[in-house]
Each structure stands twice: as C-alpha cells, then as structure tokens.
Amino acid sequence: MDFSLSSEQEQLVDTVRRFSQAELPEIAREIEETGEPAPRAIIKRYAELGLLGTNIPEALGGGGMTHLDAVLVLEETAKISPAVAFPIFESSFGPILAISHFAPEPLRERVVPKVCAGEMIVAVAMSEPDAGSALTDLKTTAKVDGGKIIINGMKRWCSGAGHSDAYVVYARMSDDPGAKGIGAVLVEKDRDGFTFGKPEHHMGFRGIPSADMYFENVEVPEENLITPAGGFRKLMEAFDLERCGNTTMSLAIAQSALDQALAYVQERKQFGKEIVEFQAVQLKLAEMKMKVDAARLLLYRAVVNAQKGLPSIADSSIAKCFANEMVREVTSTALQLMGGYGYSTEFPLEQKLRDGWGWGIAGGTIDIQKINIASALVGRRFDQRR
C-alpha cells in the first residue's frame, strides 16, 4: 500500500493547479455574482486541456486515465469554486457514467465523445416532488411504443436544469412496483413537450441552475433508451462513482477553506501577535487538517479500489458521508477563525460554507449514506417502508 501520488500525478496536480489559479478565479467570481453557469468558452478550454472525461475510456473520447486522476483534476478546479468546476464533475463523475457503462453502443458513441469534447452537457433528473430519499417512489413514466419512447411526469432539483443539452431521466418503464419498474432514458432539451419551471435559488450552488422540469407526451426515439425497467441497480452502480465526485467537491471546498484560514491566522494580529500563536487557534487548525486528510484517504480508497470499474456502495457512501459532514465542520471553523472577514460577503469564505452545505443533500443525504453503510455492514438492505 502506497499513500503517495506518482510523479505523473504530482505533475498533473501542479499543472491543473497553476491553470486553475491563473484562469478560473475571475470566471468563478462572475458566476457567483450573476448566477449564470460556467460559460461554454471555459468548457471548451477544459476540453482542449484534457480536463473533461479524464477517466472515460479513450475509445469514447475520454482521457483513459484513472478515477484517482479524475479526482485530482476535479479537486484543483473545485478549490476555486464548485460551480466553475461543475462541467468537469459532470463529465467525469456525472450522469454520463450511466451512459458510458450501461447504454447500448450507438447511444454511448453518440453522447459520450461530445461530452468529453465540451460540446454537450448532460444532467441527471432523478428526484421528484414526492421522490427524494424514497427515489423508487418516482412517478414519471417512459413508455416504449412503436420505436418511440413517450415520457410524462415532472422532475425537481436537477442540477443543470435548463442549461444542459440533455438529461438522463429516471422513469417508470413497466408496471412493476418500486425499483423493478425503473429504467432511464436520454431526453434532449429541445424535445416538444419538455419545459422548465422558474429558476430555483439555493443557499449556495450559484451558477449551477436548478428548476422543475415538465414532460408532457415528450417523444424520443427508442435509441435514447439507456436502460429499460429492471436497470435501477445498474443506475445506482454508476451512481456509486458519482458519489465520489460529490466527495471530491466537498473535499476541495474544505481544503481551500483550510488553506485560506491557515494563511489568515499567520497574518492577522491581535494582542500584538499573529493569532496562530494562540493555542485555541492551533487546535482548530489541527482538527481541520485531520478531518480533511481523513476525507481524502477515504475518497482515495474508494476510487483506487474501484480501479477502472465502479466503486462499492460501502466505500463510496463512507467517503461521501464523511466528506459531507467534514466540509460543514471545516468551513464553519475556518469562517470562525477569520472573524468578521469570514462572515463578510466581500471575502470568499462564507461562499465556501454555503456551497459546502449542499453536497450532504445532493446525491443522497448524509443519513441515507449511513443507512447504506449499515446495510453493507450487516450484508442486507433495510426496508425503509416496513
């Protein structure tokens, strides 16, 4: 077991860090100010630099690198802001994983290379007003009929709603109850009958648009089928890797909050000395560092164990859950250490706290991850309905 990065990985981190620090802060500031998503020009730039789909096979237009490499790339960009890094998250850890792993070849070849080239953004639409944690209660239907699939229903909280070019829509595709009836279909934004509600405003996540989505007899060709009814388990397997992207976002936000607090406490003077000289401040720094490192190790374990495949539900849920709780604690401590400057919107720390909070809801809540972990421990799923 070796806990150090290879020299190639060190170089990758260095290159992406230098690029991110030079080119992303201004764009991130604009995104935060306007609420507009990352501009297409920067997504093309990511593609040129090989930062999209780092861990997607080369045959599908990706970088053919490891999941750990993709984590390193995402962390360096997300330290600037999760919104500016979101296209990278989507291309390496987002819904195209369900397509690249499980969709029939023609659909895979139609969609994945475009995402890796920065020409197409794909979002995931699972949640509904009455189906959040209880995802298998979803009601949206997708009926295969004479070479077409007809979709009816509504979705909520989709990150990228309205802005993305296409959506991986989880839908009920047979009369089988619960998970058994669920499959997924790709729906392009411009399909007749597909509309969006008003933009939603979150506490953080500015520049990652969200809106209700309505499907009224929306028709797509049967070739847009990702997986038919019965494919829910596969979709969740792909989602195990998406959880590692969520973990990386939490880690990046926490690491950058720690970096900022560390610099601040060595500059800020009170009572005639730098506040880092106070033991209470030192203890906070140490606690932050231990938590960030622990989250990093759990994340690295999940993606390294997965090798080129998909991580286990236990590894990915443990990493996500720990990192989601950790980022709330670390950003909160960093804010406190920076006093009035931490709380001021003129300084970047408060945004980190707001952005950091959301990851413990997105992608399955913290407590749902804990249920996954307990299930893995005892070797069976717990029925939440009985």
Ligand X SMILES: Cc1cc2nc3c(=O)[nH]c(=O)nc-3n(C[C@H](O)[C@H](O)[C@H](O)COP(=O)(O)OP(=O)(O)OC[C@H]3O[C@@H](n4cnc5c(N)ncnc54)[C@H](O)[C@@H]3O)c2cc1C
The nearer residue to ligand X, 35 or 64, going by C-beta atoms, is 35
Q: Which stretch binds ligand X (CB under 6 A): 222-230, 285-293, 307-315, 361-369?
A: 361-369
Q: Near ligand X by CB under 6 A, which window of 171-179, 184-192, 283-291, 367-375?
A: 367-375
Cβ distance to ligand X smaller for residue 132 or 193: 132
Among 243, 257, 364, 369, binds ligand X (CB under 6 A): 364
Contact pick of 68, 74, 96, 126 for ligand X (by CB under 6 A): 126
- The least CB distance from residue 22 to ligand X, in Å, is 28
Q: Is 375 in the site for ligand X (CB under 6 A)?
A: no
Three-class HEC string of 238-271: HHHHHHHHHHHHHHHHHHHHHHHHHHHHHHCEEC
Q: Which CB atom, from 285 or from 369, has the smaller least distance to ligand X?
A: 369
Is residue 367 within the footprint of ligand X (CB under 6 A)? yes
Residue in 96, 125, 220, 338 binding ligand X, rule: CB under 6 A: 125
- The token pair at 355 is 């952005």
Residue 365 interacting with ligand X (CB under 6 A): yes
Report, in Å, the least distance between residue 48 CB and ligand X. 26
CA 343 vs CA 49, 81, 283, 374: distances in Å = 35, 18, 21, 37
Residue 127 binds ligand X, judged by CB under 6 A: yes
- In the complex, residue closest to ligand X by CB: 132
76 sits in which H/E element: helix 67-78
Q: Which of 133, 141, 195, 305 binds ligand X (CB under 6 A)?
A: 133
Distance CA 330, CA 286 (A): 11
CA 175 to chain CA mean position, Å:
31
Shortest distance, position 364 Cβ to ligand X, whole Å: 5
DSSP secondary structure string, 97-144?
A: HHHHHHS-HHHHHHHHHHHHTTS--EEEE--BTTBSSSGGG---EEEE
Q: How far is CA 298 from the centre of its chain?
A: 17
- Using CB under 6 A, which residues numbered 226 to 245 contact ligand X? none
Rounded CA-CA distance 367/349 in Å is 26
Nearer to ligand X, 304 or 373 (CB): 373
Q: By CB under 6 A, name the one of 42, 166, 368, 369 that touches ligand X.
A: 368
**Cα dihedral 57, 114, 40, 348 in deg (nearest 10):** -30
Residues 167-206 that bind ligand X (CB under 6 A): 202, 205
Query: What φ, ψ does residue 94 adopt, rounded to 5°?
Result: -90, -160
- Residues in region 139-158 near ligand X by CB under 6 A: 157-158
Strands 122-125 and 166-172: what pairing?
parallel
CB of 234: closest distance to ligand X in angstroms? Answer: 17
Q: How far is the CB of 13 from ligand X (least distance, A)?
A: 27
Q: Which of 135, 96, 98 is nearest to 115 (CA)?
A: 96
Residue 264 or 357: which CB sits closer to ligand X? 357
Structure tokens at 32: 């935060």
* Closer of 43 and 138 to ligand X (Cβ): 138
Q: Which residue's CB is nearer to ligand X, number 214 or number 278?
A: 214
- 369: β partners: none
CB 42 within 8 A of CB 31: no
| Residue where the block lists tokens 């400057």 | 341
CA 321 to CA 327: how far, in whole Å? 10
**How many Cβ atoms sit within 10 Å of the Cβ of residue 30?**
15
Quick one: 2 or 198, whose CB is closer to ligand X?
A: 198
Beta bridge partners of 124: 168
Q: How far is the CB of 253 from ligand X (least distance, A)?
A: 13
Among 124, 186, 226, 288, binds ligand X (CB under 6 A): 124
Compute how many residues bind ligand X; rule: CB under 6 A: 21
Name the site residues for ligand X (rule: CB under 6 A): 123-127, 132-133, 157-159, 202, 205, 358, 361-362, 364-365, 367-368, 371, 384
